[in-house]
């Protein structure tokens, strides 16, 4: 096992859909702040578009800023080579036709010391996941409704 791997934190990915290919750029300064503070390290950032016929095409960062409102030049070269055509196709399956998406692969630098300590002790991550905010809210609303139903009885 390489020493570089031993020092890494957990790696996550996100696929963020932009309906109607409308990207405001509002989140990019926040992403840069996470990088600047050493919380995450961007391994890959790629954008795709799903056309009306269902085909998925990769977009160049410079093509995303046609009106000059979103400066993405700081993200140029954010590519580790982890993303392949199969990843683009899979991301495209989650998109509605006419929309675009950003695919972000990042290392959780904040968790690297914990991961190193666990690996030294022989532990390994065997499962992981993410709970979508919508699922969490639905669960909380259901619990609240159930609690309200019990107190009314």
pLDDT single digits (tens) 58-108 = 887 666 655 556 566 666 767 788 888 888 889 989 999 999 999 999 999
**Residue 45 neighbours by CB distance under 10 Å:** 20
CA gyration radius, the chain? 19
CB 41 within 8 A of CB 106: yes
Write the DSSP symbol of residue 96.
P
Token representation of residue 134: 């919508």
Q: What are φ and ψ of residue 41, in 5° steps?
A: -125, 125
- Residues in CB range of 74: below 8 A, 6 or more apart: 32
pTM: predicted TM-score of the whole model, two decimal places:
0.77
């Amino acid at each position: 096992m390489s020493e570089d791997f031993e020092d890494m934190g957990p790696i996550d990915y996100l696929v963020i859909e932009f309906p109607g290919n409308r990207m405001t750029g509002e989140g990019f300064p926040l992403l840069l702040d996470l990088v600047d503070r050493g919380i995450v390290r961007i391994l890959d950032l790629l954008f795709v578009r799903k056309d009306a016929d269902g085909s998925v095409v990769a977009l160049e960062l410079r093509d995303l800023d046609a009106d000059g409102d979103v400066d993405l030049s700081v993200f140029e070269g954010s590519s580790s080579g982890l993303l392949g055509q199969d990843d683009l196709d899979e991301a495209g399956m989650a998109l509605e036709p006419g929309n675009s998406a950003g695919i972000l692969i990042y290392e959780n630098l904040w968790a690297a010391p914990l991961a190193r300590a666990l690996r030294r002790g022989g532990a390994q991550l065997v499962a992981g996941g993410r709970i979508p905010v919508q699922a969490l809210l639905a669960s909380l609303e259901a619990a609240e409704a159930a609690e309200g139903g019990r107190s009314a009885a």
